[in-house]
Structures are given as C-alpha cells and as structure tokens.
Amino acid sequence: MSGMAIALIMITLLYFGKSFGFSSNLRTLCTLTGAGKKVKFFDFDWKTQKWNLLFLLGSVLGGIVASTLLKSEQPLQLSAATVRDLKTLGIRFDGQLEPEQLFGIHALSVKNIMLMLVGGLLVGFGSRYAGGCTSGHAISGLSNLQVPSLLAVVGFFIGGLVMTHFLFPLIF
C-alpha cells in the first residue's frame, strides 16, 4: 500500500513536469540563507525549486496530520530480533516511532545532540555528493533504471551496514 502511494507521488510529480527528489531542498534552503553569495554551488534561482519547498512544507503538515487526526494508538510491531539486538546496545524499545532515549526532548544530552548533528551532517553531505537521497536515487533513479542510482543505493547500504554492525557497538 505505502509503496504504491510512494510510486504514485513520483508519477504525479512527473506528470506536473517535476522530478521527485527531496534532498535538493537542503541545497535550496542553504541558498535562501544567502549561501549563494559565498559559494557558487548555492548561487541559483531558488524560485525554480519553490514547488519542492511546498512539497517539504506539505510533508511537515502531513506529519502533523498523522500525529493528530490520523494518530494510531497501536505500538510499532518491531521484530523480536531487533528488539533484542538493540537491548544489547542499551537501547530500549518503547513501541513509539523513535526511541525516546535518543530523540526525546527530555533525553537531550551532549551525546545525543552530537549524534544527531553528526548524523545529519553525514546525510546532508552524502546526499549532495551522491546527487540524491532515497527519493531521488532509490525511488526515482531505480524506476528509471539508472546504473548510477544503483551504485548510490549500494553505497547507502554499505554505509548503513557499516554504521549498524561496526560503529554502533562503539558508539552505544
């Protein structure tokens, strides 16, 4: 169902003459803060990306709708093996979307802030370096049978596996 919805969103955007790629917004947001004056990469007409910024705004609104009008009281059904693995790392599964222990506002610690900042930095840097994120490469790119997108997705996976299996035991 959800996969169908995602494909449908991509096709709808194509029909409106645009291509589905969320991380471009990060570049546009940098441009909006005036980064274009110093760095050429950000020197472009942000108005060409207005549609994508509206899509971003919509996604925030969608999050609000999903947590209010469409809120589900069902706890997340995480596989028992994952619950066990996370427990070994000292991360408790609480049935929410995000672990309160890492992202909760009351759990804010220097370590958590650093993890979020560094993690975000890697995502931002990596998606621009690779020229796209999950939506641009894994969805749009693979749908268009692009070998470069396949390479990027393989990269996403290697990075994710290294973080999960080798770095998590060192971090947590």
Amino acid at site 77: Q
74 token code pair: 């069902």
Q: How far is the CB of 72 from other proteins (least distance, A)?
A: 8
Q: Does 149 bind other proteins (CB under 8 A)?
A: yes
- Identify the burial level of 142 via C-beta atoms within 10 angstroms of its C-beta, where 0-12 means exposed, 13-18 middle and 19 or more buried: middle
Among 26, 90, 110, 169, binds other proteins (CB under 8 A): 26
Backbone region of residue 104 per phi and psi (left: phi > 0; alpha: psi in -120 to 50; beta: other values): beta
Q: Does 44 bind other proteins (CB under 8 A)?
A: no
Footprint of other proteins on 57-116 (CB under 8 A): 57-67, 70, 72, 76, 78-79, 81-82, 85-86, 93, 97-99, 102-105, 108, 112-113, 115-116
Q: How far is the CB of 49 from other proteins (least distance, A)?
A: 11
Distance between CA 81 and CA 18 in Å, rounded?
41
